[in-house]
Structure 1
Amino acid sequence: MMDMREKQLSYEYFFEGHIMKARLDQALLPNGKTAPREVCEHVGGVGVLPIDRDGNIIMVRQFRYPYAEEILEIPAGKLDHGEGESIADCGARELKEETGCTAGRIVPLGCVYPSPGFLTEVVHLFAALDLAEGEMQPDEDEFVEVVRLPIAEVEQMIVRDEIRDAKTMAALYRAKLKGLY
């Protein structure tokens, strides 16, 4: 089997923000040549698929600035609360903030790489089961609408290209494969 690893020779940061950094690397390729690699380092995040006792998915609709449109997706957030917060705790926090729900059970669904060609972000996925309803606690810069839909309708919305969010599709599919619905 061919060794396809590339080795970083140099790097230069062009932007350093709160949740991401952008850099340009020079990489040594397996054939001995070099190539530029644009890399966006991201803090990572979580996505939580809340499934209620009636077989509905609790989703959020929110405006996503990079796409200039409202997107229907599962509750999600960044791993930006420091070392003291576990990944599962981050998922539980985001679930509570965006939907008001707390989960009796959080089931890991693995992780996904949203755009591995340039982005280091890893999104950790969970299913939230045995839900208890409560008050939403959105961040002050977060405006979300909770939408509760039957699983079959969410699946059909994916088929009709009405749901395009990758973490939502991956979480739903993994939950199905694990027999969670």
Structure 2
Amino acid sequence: MRLNHGGSGRSALILAMAMGRPDAAEAQHHARLARDPDQLAALRADPARLPAAIEEMVRYDGAIELAISRFTTDEITVGDVTIPGGGEVVLLAIAAADRDPARFPAPDRFDTTRATSAHLGFGHGIHYCLGAPLARMEAAVALRTLLDRCADLTLAVHPGDGLSRRRTPHWTCSPSPG
């Protein structure tokens, strides 16, 4: 089965993922696995790694790069930068925080065995995503189904051939035997 961004390919992807609608972030996570055959094979061999793999996917390539803007009330210094108070707009770069080498060793390496429980892909504190448990469950169902049904999941294009981060990837997938 060959999946692409066309109508029949999109319908097939929905069926293959066993979900009501595909999410761009999940498609990006599947593409991340397809780009790393060793991680994909390890996950297929040991499905118990799925929860950790999902957390790493959210940390490594989350759907949110910048948080909702906030406004300062008081002056604050972060590192060597002073942000003035009085209503200055501040954006938190979640993607940068989740690639902080002080928090995540080799942060630019995708590693499904990494302990990633402290990533900010779902926010933090009062702004933590209420839908995070549902997103995790949907990702687990989608990935498990994809691993079970697509024995030879690969990208149909080379990752360097114009495949952007925010564009749903093209797939090739043959149904698993049995």
Which structure has the higher relative contact order (CA within 8 Å, separation 6+)?
A: 2
Q: Tell me if TM exceeds 0.5.
A: no
Using the size of structure 2 for normalisation, the TM-score is: 0.23
More helix by share: 2
More strand by share: 1
Using the size of structure 1 for normalisation, the TM-score is: 0.23
